[in-house]
Chains A and B, each alone.
Chain A
Amino acid sequence: MALLMEKGTEPQTESELADLDAISALKESAAIELKEEGNKYVKMGKKHYSEAIKCYTRAINQKALSDTETSILFSNRAHVNLLLGNYGRALSDSEEAIKLSPANVKAFYRAAKASLSLNKLVEAKAFSEKGLDQNPDNEELKTLKKQIDSQISELQQREAQVSKALKTAKDLVSAIEDRELKIGQATFQKLSGLKKPILDKDHILHWPVLLLYAEVMSSDFIEDFCETDMFSAHLGLISFSHSAEPLPWDKENAYTRDAIELYYEAGSGVCLSKKEIISNFLQGTVASHLETFGDDETDTVKSFPKGISSVGNNRSKWVKVNERRTLNAVLKEPNFVIPGIPVFFVVSKRSSFYKDFKSGNWSLPS
């Protein structure tokens, strides 16, 4: 009997035809046997899964079964692949099974499950829906679809949060640009942490402001300093009001409302680029992982309005703040580079430290 047909030689005789039939039948029963062997292996547990796969594969390669039956083979193999965590193969097997027999419910289920594990949520949803179209009462499919739907909505929520965080950061940067403010590297991050300015619904900026008592390098915070507020209004509320106790380290009670003066450090530092500023504002939000921000203007590293980097002989210049000005008016000063958030140094006219400070002999401890 020739098993390989040479070209041009068609089976002619009855006996040849009978032989072919016999071969077919043999192959068919072999395939069925292999399928059952595979099923047995699966029942035997994890250690035998790869054997099961081999059986199913050999059964498929017989090419002896009907489409419906072959679909079951693919679907079974998909099942084992799912159990083994071979989601890619499970998906392609399920898809093949569906092609061969669109009525194969299990195939739809396994296709959906594999897609879900691969995070292909759109495909997973489609498979589960098609499966339910054919079998609206299938409980497993129903449960799976619910699971897919909830993952999709979770993803959408997260994406919405991320874009909201990005928009907030971009709006902030835009407001800063409009006001022609200069932002530099944050200098007191241990104290200020991740604090950032806020833009309220009237598009007015509120800044967290750090006050440093230069004499002892202790600090205080003004959590919400609206840019249209004057300094005098806020200073009247902190430790210096007449009724309050003097600061614990202020042995001589030099730091009273009438004696204190506020200074900022002029010309200190290089301005950050727009991209760096957005990136900083995203720290501590759900969008902190973003590297690009969606428009060329921001992504190319361009420098912000030119700031004056350190003044000549490396000595910082201390500029006194007139309390009867608004925060915005002071921040706008051309020599003010905001170190992340505004920082102001507090000294007392009555303290012995004052002379050192004013003479320029004092500088920030590094």
Chain B
Amino acid sequence: MANEMEELIGFLSSPSPQVKKAAVDIVRGLTGSEEGLQSLASYSKTVLPSLSRLLGENKEVSELATEALVNLSQNSDLAAKMIEMGFIKTTMDILYKQGCEITGLLVMLLVNLTQLDAGVESLLQVGDDKVQGLYVMKLVRSFCTSSSEKEDDPFGHVGSILVNVSKNKAGRTLLLDPKRGLLKQIIRQFDSTSLLRKKGVSGTIRNCCFEADNQLQNLLLISEFLWPALLLPVAGNKVYNEQDTSKMPLELGSALSIEREPVSNPEIRIQALEAIYLITLQGAGRRAFWSVNGPRILQIGYEEEEDTKVMGAYEQIGSLLVEGNDTEEGSTQTSS
């Protein structure tokens, strides 16, 4: 004799569309509260696959099902079970099916699932040589070719997925791979007006810079795009004079010679500074930083900074540069 919960879960697979919709609505409601979620959790073996099957149905049903799954996936045990059940693949398949109407929700589901390392590995498709990295490439492409101007910006959260992916070493290596050029594409999204996207890009770059000690070239070789993304947020608000900008590469110099919107979010400024710190820990990184007149930019930005945490991040780099001062400032000398 099935109890109420089992009955409810059973209705998720009912042949009657009204029953199904009503059931998924109730389940979704349950996932909105902690007790409801816990009671569903003990039936994870049945409720998760049932919900997963609903993802491919019409929008009414699939939307509710996805919302339920998004809520459930905030619980790490349930997220782990979902990953084991192959939810990443299922989600990606439906996401990229023609006419998908629940894109934004599916992306959010992926964000939650990739909070776990197992989720990232599943998304990276590490086991399969032939398709390794394919999912990530698809997501990056969607992220970069969609705009945040659409009201809901369904792919906006991909930035957060990428932040999670970049917490994993294999993920960083994939993003930094010069042959795939993923990081280069991602950095361009930094110009977006959407704070969500900016945060995603900023966090991803910062995490990738943890590879500066062994993949520095993959960072420095996209410096045309990297330096502006890292330095503009921390360059202060004033327009720079020619004496300073003439020592910078063209893109950076021109961007600083005009009026610009300040980056008000301190988290982004801190991430940019942390990324710069990681790069300048390396000799070649310091050299490249000096050659774009980076220290001057930080000096000006620091003067205008008011947030103490951000100031700390500036100071951390400052001490690094002072130590390396003698060797680096003259490092553009030609050596025999």
Contacts and interface: CB of A to CB of B under 8 A. Distances in A.
B119 to A, nearest CB: 30
B84 to A, nearest CB: 37
Given A224-B335, A234-B334, A204 B220 contact: yes
Contacts of B292: 230
A33 interface: no
Given A204-B284, A322-B250, A178 B217 contact: yes
A92 B231 CA distance: 76
A90 B31 CA distance: 91
B248 A200 contact: no
Contacts of A238: 334
Interface in B233-279: 246-250, 253
A326 B224 contact: yes
Interface string B289-320: 00110000000000000000000000000000
Contacts of A229: 287-288, 291, 332
Interface residues of B, number: 28
Contacts of A223: 334-336
Interface string A218-244: 000011111111101110011000000
Contacts of B216: 202-204
A227 B216 CA distance: 13
Contacts of B86: none
Given A178-B178, A229-B332, A202 B282 contact: yes
Given A178-B178, A179-B221, A324-B249, A202 B334 contact: no
A contact residues, range? 20 to 34
A90 B284 CA distance: 60
A175 B217 CA distance: 9
A119 B249 CA distance: 59
Contact of A233 (B178, B215, B283, B291): B291
A326 B222 CA distance: 11
Interface string A308-338: 0000000000000010111011000000000
Contacts of B220: 204, 228
Given A178-B179, A179-B178, A229-B291, A328 B336 contact: no
Contacts of A237: 332-334
Contact of B250 (A202, A204, A324): A324
Contacts of A175: 217
Interface string B111-153: 0000000000000000000000000000000000000000000
Interface of A: 175, 178-180, 200, 202-204, 222-230, 232-234, 237-238, 322, 324-326, 328-329
Which 7 residue pairs are nearest across A and B when measured between Cβ atoms?
A202-B284, A203-B217, A233-B332, A228-B288, A324-B250, A202-B216, A204-B284
Given A178-B217, A200-B284, 17 more contacts: A175-B217, A178-B221, A202-B283, A204-B284, A223-B334, A223-B336, A224-B335, A224-B336, A228-B223, A228-B287, A229-B291, A230-B291, A233-B291, A233-B332, A324-B250, A326-B291, A329-B249
6 contacts: A178-B178, A202-B216, A204-B220, A232-B246, A322-B250, A329-B224
Interface of B: 178-179, 215-217, 220-221, 223-224, 246-250, 253, 282-285, 287-288, 291-292, 332-336
